[in-house]
Structure 1
Amino acid sequence: MEYINRSLSEILENTPKDKATTIFGPRQVGKTTLLEHFIKNRDCFWLSGDEPVDVNILTNLPSKKEVLSLLSSHKIIVIDEAQKIPGIGLLIKRMVDARTECKIYVTGSSSLDLAGGVYESAAGRTRSYYLWPFSFEELADASSVIQEKRNLSSRLVFGSYPQIINEPSQAIVNLNNLYKNLAFKDALALGGIKNHGAFQHLVYVLASRIGQMCSYESIAQECKLSSPTVRTYITLLEQCFVIKCLPSFARNLENELKKSKKIYFYDLGVRNAILKRFTPLESRPFEEQGALFENYFVIERIKQASYHNCMVNHYFWRTKNKAEVDLIETYNDEIQAFEIKLSRDDVMSPPSFREAYPEAKYTVVNKNNYQNYLSHWDLPIIV
């Protein structure tokens, strides 16, 4: 399959020279491929944390003169798999402080050690961006909106990781490997988790409850863990780009829920691999089909906000009387509300929501119109 252009490409073209550009994202999401296409036919020096020689070079740059010599010799420096390079944050700081015309691009998995090292040692000297599994917009641009709509059932079962899109016949095998790498290789190693069985059970429970309202306490009770342990595990899964926790939106009403959360998976193929469930969408209970569609739309909106670097906050809304709105987005003082229903379009916003937030825009999203809210973003790209 031909290379599918990524939304980050335009941003990479316009990143400032006085900062290093760091690209975070989970394993196998296409960070290296993105940069390989970006630097094509350009003067670039490529270094990788997977190469022992390169690691040695980058770990032992003893002088400012040698750093300056490296940067002055090329237009672009790429440091791939940077989480494997000791002291990478300090190295980035020294490179940026050299003040050359060379642009620096750094990639790394969602490893906490890389993020922590960069943020602590190179504070103020980086611009960070995230690369996700393919978005609806990226895939639609590569084919057409109509074709991508035809693929909706497949996306809800197998997700949108590059290798799944490029090798559909190997989807189940590849997703099983992805799940083990994402949820276990990264999270277990980085979090120092010793009770593997309890962690695995927690991940299974979360996968079973996508889109459902929950609390740390309820999950802890179901998994027979303490609430602080559940909080730690869930935070770790978020930092490793496995799940996204949506908090509840509350400003005006006393009976608005304030502590509950909804949990979604960044990729539904990974979620289905956790459950070992690749049943065709049409053969699943309608309630599960709706939950998968809701998960898909919420995450696609989050991807778009991330790619456009918009300061959009995402929530759900619910009261103690069980009035609910699936997705709330806030940007400055604007409120956009989405009710996400796979096959319905006759859903009215709850009267209590309209009364509390009369300024909010309310939209019902279903399988017939969802593309209108994923194909284009109505806010400017910010680099």
Structure 2
Amino acid sequence: MEDRKAIIIQGARQVGKTTLIEKIVGDRPDVLWVNGDDPSARLRWSDITRALLTQLVVGYQFLVIDEAQRIENVGLAVKMCIDGRLPVKVILSGSSSLNLASSLNEPLTGRKWSYELFALSWSEIVGAIRLPAALNRLDELLVTGCYPEVVTATDSKEQRLREIAASYLYKDILEYGDVRKPDLIVKLLRALAYQIGAEVSYQELSLLLGVDNKTVQRYIQLLEDSYVLLRLSALSTNPRKEISTSKKIYFLDNGIRNAVIDDFKPFAERADRGALWENFMVTELYKHHRNQGSRGQFYFWRSKTQSEVDLVISAGGTYEAYEFKYSARKKARFAKSFLERYKPRETKVINPENFHESLLH
């Protein structure tokens, strides 16, 4: 906050970016707040001149641009603020990393601090209500997820999730992704929702949806850039013995996944408990690492003889390997070939009895 660089906060819609910025700037009167969802604001701030920009920020200490990805050439406006030494601290939020990055990366090289905000993490929930209460809500979180509005609601959780999915989930994708067939996004998400933990075939998805492979891959990229999906590549340093081209795709929130297929049955009654547990743990570990500033890479591993590891995290030249089992009675062994080749510093089988150890340190 003390230097001249802009602060950029990215994350899915409805995870609390605006609330966070409001907490930062408080109710002080010297904040100029620009809402990118407002058509008149978009018109005024797109391709803004330096003269008009200077007049607009006079008397303000902060310039907040919310949903900045919806304002064309917003990066150039921020660059003018910084390079022109206008006396305002600029804070931006955005819910589409693809469009926001393309608008900001070049003009703001060396002029920004970038942060990502996700839905609530397990450690944040524990910090708010303490571990015993959080553990009592684990089955609920596995079904309805960790969006702040849903976690804090006392009723209508399912309806809130449906509203988030219907009103916000596809907004930036449809507007900025040049998506000509919006129904394909819905069909693609439903198909992916039933394949959690399985290797995804772009070819099979293209046949199912009746579009080419490139379209499928582009839509998945858009969904990943909009913080809906998390895509893992296969870890491979020996293509002769390990698969190297497959992908696994997870939803960044269990509740959104269940809203997509409209299935909110209680966790104990579900046939997909294992898939929901794996999705929850992969994304919680991802949030945990990112929230702590780690840029580790997330992979899965499988040999051509069908040995596999659910999740491998590579950071600083070392590896951590995880298997996810919802039943604590289920055992898992890590393949000798994996252990000998990658020499992971940690291997762990994670179940509901020990998972919090990996998310609270």
Instruction: Compute the TM-score of the two structures, normalised by the length of structure 2.
Output: 0.91
Counterparts of 1:44-59 in structure 2, within 5 Å, are: 44-49=30-35, 50-51=37-38, 58-59=45-46
Partner of 1:363: 348
Further displaced range: 339-348 or 266-275? 339-348
Task: Report whether the alignment pairs 1:134 with 2:120.
Answer: yes
Q: Quote the offset at 1:61 in angstroms.
A: 5.6
Counterpart of 1:70, as a letter, is V
Q: Quote the offset at 1:275 in angstroms.
A: 0.5
3-state secondary structure, aligned to 2:170: helix
List per-residue Cα deviations over 1:131-163 (Å, max 9, x = no partner): 111111111111112211221111111111111
Q: Quote the offset at 1:19 in angstroms.
A: 1.4
Aligned-partner Cα distance in 1 for 2:110–2:152: 37
Counterpart of 1:28, as a letter, is Q
RMSD in angstroms over aligned alpha carbons?
2.4
Counterpart of 2:115, as a letter, is Y
Aligned-partner Cα distance in 2 for 1:81–1:241: 14
Partner of 2:183: 197
Aligned-partner Cα distance in 1 for 2:89–2:97: 23
Task: Report whether the alignment pairs 1:323 with 2:310.
Answer: no
3-state secondary structure, aligned to 1:209: coil
Structure 1 residue corresponding to 2:231, chosen from 236, 245, 268: 245
Aligned-partner Cα distance in 2 for 1:190–1:275: 25
Aligned-partner Cα distance in 2 for 1:63–1:198: 42
Partner of 1:167: 153
> Does the aligned pair in 1 maintain the 2:81–2:88 contact within 8 Å?
no
Note the residue ranges of structure 2 that are not aligned, 5 or more in a row.
none
List per-residue Cα deviations over 1:289-342 (Å, max 9, x = no partner): 111111111111111222222221000011121101111001111100011111
**1:102/1:205 CA distance change after superposition, 3 Å:** same
Aligned-partner Cα distance in 2 for 1:45–1:110: 24
What is the count of residue pairs matched by the alignment?
359
Structure 2 residue corresponding to 1:351, chosen from 336, 343, 346: 336
Aligned-partner Cα distance in 2 for 1:240–1:84: 13
Q: Quote the offset at 1:51 in angstroms.
A: 5.0
> Does the aligned pair in 2 maintain the 1:256–1:318 contact within 8 Å?
yes
**1:187/1:53 CA distance change after superposition, 3 Å:** closer
Counterpart of 2:185, as a letter, is F
Note the residue ranges of structure 1 that are not aligned, 5 or more in a row.
1-14, 377-383
Q: Quote the offset at 1:168 in angstroms.
A: 4.0
Counterpart of 1:62, as a letter, is T
Partner of 2:25: 39
> Does the aligned pair in 2 maintain the 1:140–1:148 contact within 8 Å?
yes
Aligned-partner Cα distance in 2 for 1:258–1:61: 47
> Does the aligned pair in 2 maintain the 1:79–1:107 contact within 8 Å?
yes
3-state secondary structure, aligned to 2:106: helix
> Does the aligned pair in 2 maintain the 1:342–1:367 contact within 8 Å?
yes
Task: Report whether the alignment pairs 1:257 with 2:282.
Answer: no
Partner of 1:282: 268
> Does the aligned pair in 2 maintain the 1:247–1:261 contact within 8 Å?
yes
Aligned-partner Cα distance in 2 for 1:280–1:101: 53
**1:116/1:339 CA distance change after superposition, 3 Å:** same
Counterpart of 1:302, as a letter, is Y
> Does the aligned pair in 2 maintain the 1:77–1:102 contact within 8 Å?
yes
Aligned-partner Cα distance in 1 for 2:2–2:134: 34
Partner of 1:79: 65
Partner of 1:110: 96
3-state secondary structure, aligned to 1:163: helix
Task: Report whether the alignment pairs 1:271 with 2:257.
Answer: yes
Task: Report whether the alignment pairs 1:298 with 2:282.
Answer: yes
Q: Quote the offset at 1:259 in angstroms.
A: 0.7
Q: Percent same amino acid among aligned pairs?
A: 33
Aligned-partner Cα distance in 2 for 1:65–1:336: 52
Aligned-partner Cα distance in 2 for 1:352–1:253: 14
Partner of 1:6: none
Aligned-partner Cα distance in 1 for 2:177–2:100: 13
3-state secondary structure, aligned to 2:217: helix
Task: Report whether the alignment pairs 1:151 with 2:137.
Answer: yes
Aligned-partner Cα distance in 2 for 1:135–1:247: 23
Counterpart of 1:150, as a letter, is N
Aligned-partner Cα distance in 2 for 1:314–1:204: 23
3-state secondary structure, aligned to 1:317: strand
Partner of 1:70: 57
List per-residue Cα deviations over 1:169-204 (Å, max 9, x = no partner): 121111112112344332222222222333322111
**1:109/1:66 CA distance change after superposition, 3 Å:** closer
**1:257/1:52 CA distance change after superposition, 3 Å:** closer
Q: Quote the offset at 1:39 in angstroms.
A: 1.8
